[in-house]
Amino acid sequence: MQVDGQRFLADLHKLRSFGASGVGKGVVRPAYSEADMEARTWLKGRMEEAGLRVETDAMGNLFGLAEGPSLLLGSHSDSQPEGGWLDGALGVIAALEVARCADMPISVISFQDEEGRFGVTTGSAVWSGQLDLEAADLLLDHNGVALAEARRVVNPTGEVDPAQFTGFIEMHIEQGPVLDTTGERVGVVSDIVGIRDMKITFEGQQNHAGTTPMHLRRDAFQAVSEFNHALAERFKNVVTPATVWTIGHLSLHPNASSIVPGKAVFSMQWRDGDADRLVRMEQIIRALAQEIAQARGMEVSFGPMLGLEPVHMDARLRRALETSAESLASGAWRVMPSGALHDATNVSRLMPVAMLFVPSIGGISHAFEEDTDEEHLVLGLEVLAGAVAALHG
Ligand code: HGY
Ligand code: MN
Ligand code: MN
């Protein structure tokens, strides 16, 4: 199968123009935003030009469907609030290019809200049955907008039956430092970590920042600060160097310089390759938050917890990627786990899945600086095409 690297790169740069941040090659293209929907309209046209039948489901997942049973390739085209031009977009455009050149049926997908404006990989979670649409509709973004409201911009054409697909392969940037550090050019994913994500709220007493003595304060931010500091200690005998946890979002109420914050809401997210360890970490998180709230005479509450279990990639699809990587990048590829989450985790509930990585310069992602050498992008495309051809050989 002969792919067209220049056409592929041109489409990647065109997709980058929707929600271009003006900083480096960064994009701002959150799920259901104007830029996201404009990008999807353009993608729809490119899928039709490739001879695919386009369907958009109720969540806004955009499918380009081949006739009859087909291998599904793709990823997502929504971005983080400050996103890179390749996260998700690479897999969608690579899928489109393979679908154009393949002499076997290839379908293409751009999932919606993989970046979790409303949750965790929300679009593929609903499509795969991991999450009910009714429950998803109740999810709020950090500005309090409900998913049900946001997805009104979608004009659904119909639901897509997963049974028509023989498997799913997602090409993605690594988003981490491994390939960039080793100088290797391709990663074949062995497994994807599991994740837990929930909001925690501490409520104390809003008060005057000048007249309230320190020992009388019930300061919600101080509770968060103590929680974060103590957590590292409590995790010490549970976590490994591969375990990660993040407080990425914090809102203080009323968020004013001269007011002791009475309320703090923060996101608590943790990830690991071991399902039992995720459970143990949750127990520690909940117990520590309650202990601190009690000690400080405060209230603590926990929002709905979203989570996905660790998944192993399908051996047959993975072997096809490994064989293709060996023939095109011999000595410059490796098998590796994914510390980032992907739609492939949800899709693995329905069919065999596998993933292919290309390096991230400096290991940076979820930032405007995210980038990859273009010859690595084209090589990844060729490895994907080689694996697809071999699977149908
Ligand atoms: O957070 C993640 O791992 C994914 O990039 N949304
Ligand atoms: Mn992604
Ligand atoms: Mn991402």
- The ligand with the least distance to the CA atom of 267 is 1
Q: State the DSSP string of 25-47.
A: T-B---TTSHHHHHHHHHHHHHH
What CA–CA distance (Å, rounded) separates 104 from 106? 6
What CA–CA distance (Å, rounded) separates 340 from 120? 12
Query: Measured in angstroms, how far is the CA atom of residue 225 from the centroid of ligand 3?
Result: 27
Burial of 297 (0-12, 13-18, 19+ CB in 10 A): exposed
Whether the per-residue pLDDT at 390 is higher than 90: the answer is yes
What CA–CA distance (Å, rounded) separates 267 from 141? 12
Average pLDDT, the chain: 97
- 165-173 and 70-76 beta bridge pairing: parallel
Among 175, 267, 272, 355, name the best residue to mutate to test ligand 1's pocket (greatest count of ligand atoms within 8 A of Cβ). 175
Whether the per-residue pLDDT at 316 is higher than 90: the answer is yes
3-state helix, strand, coil in the chain (%, to 5): 35, 25, 40
Cα–Cα distances in angstroms (integers) from residue 118 to residues 153, 221, 240, 269, in the given order: 15, 24, 29, 14
Query: Measured in angstroms, how far is the CA atom of residue 221 from the centroid of ligand 2?
Result: 31
CB 224 less than 6 A from any atom of ligand 1: no
* Alpha helices (runs of H) in the chain, residue ranges in sequence order: 5-16, 34-49, 89-101, 122-127, 133-137, 147-150, 178-182, 220-235, 275-295, 315-328, 343-347, 374-391
pLDDT at 393: 76
Query: Measured in angstroms, how far is the CA atom of residue 87 from the centroid of ligand 3?
Result: 6
Q: Comparing C-alpha atoms, which of 382, 393, 391 is closest to residue 317?
A: 391
Q: Which helix (H) or strand (E) holds 107?
A: strand 106-111
Average pLDDT rounded to a whole number, residues 337-362: 98
CB 115 less than 6 A from any atom of ligand 1: yes
What is the reported pTM? 0.93
Whether the per-residue pLDDT at 267 is higher than 80: the answer is yes
Average pLDDT rounded to a whole number, residues 51-74: 98
DSSP lists the bridge partners of residue 72 as 107, 168
Query: Measured in angstroms, how far is the CA atom of residue 217 from the centroid of ligand 1?
Result: 37
Average pLDDT rounded to a whole number, residues 331-360: 98
Q: Comparing C-alpha atoms, which of 132, 129, 108 is closest to residue 53?
A: 108
- 353-358 and 62-65 beta bridge pairing: unpaired
Helix (H/G/I), strand (E/B), else coil: 122: helix
- 241-252 as b/e, with b when 16 or more CB fall inside 10 Å? eebebeeeeeeb
Query: Measured in angstroms, how far is the CA atom of residue 358 from the centroid of ligand 3?
Result: 14
Q: Which atom of ligand 1 is nearest to the CA of 80?
A: 6
Give yes or no for a contact between 43 and 95, defined as CB atoms under 8 angstroms apart.
Answer: no
Structure tokens belonging to residue 39: 């990008």
- 310-324 as b/e, with b when 16 or more CB fall inside 10 Å? bbebbeebbbbbbeb
What CA–CA distance (Å, rounded) separates 147 from 135? 10
First to last CA, the chain: 11
Strands (E), 141-208: 165-173, 186-192, 194-203, 207-208
pLDDT at 177: 97
pLDDT at 199: 96
Q: Which atom of ligand 1 is nearest to the CA of 115?
A: 6
Q: What is the Rg, in whole angstroms, of the alpha carbon atoms belonging to the chain?
A: 22
- The ligand with the least distance to the CA atom of 121 is 1
Amino acid at position 265, single letter: V
Q: Comparing C-alpha atoms, which of 330, 328, 238 is closest to residue 280?
A: 238
CB 341 less than 6 A from any atom of ligand 1: yes
Give yes or no for a contact between 166 and 351, defined as CB atoms under 8 angstroms apart.
Answer: yes
Q: Which atom of ligand 1 is nearest to the CA of 195?
A: 3
Band of the pLDDT at 95, cuts 50, 70, 90? very high
What CA–CA distance (Å, rounded) separates 101 from 97? 6
| pLDDT tens digits for range 238-259 | 999 999 999 999 999 999 999 9
| pLDDT tens digits for range 178-195 | 999 999 999 999 999 999
Share of the chain above pLDDT 70, in %: 100
DSSP symbol at 313:
P
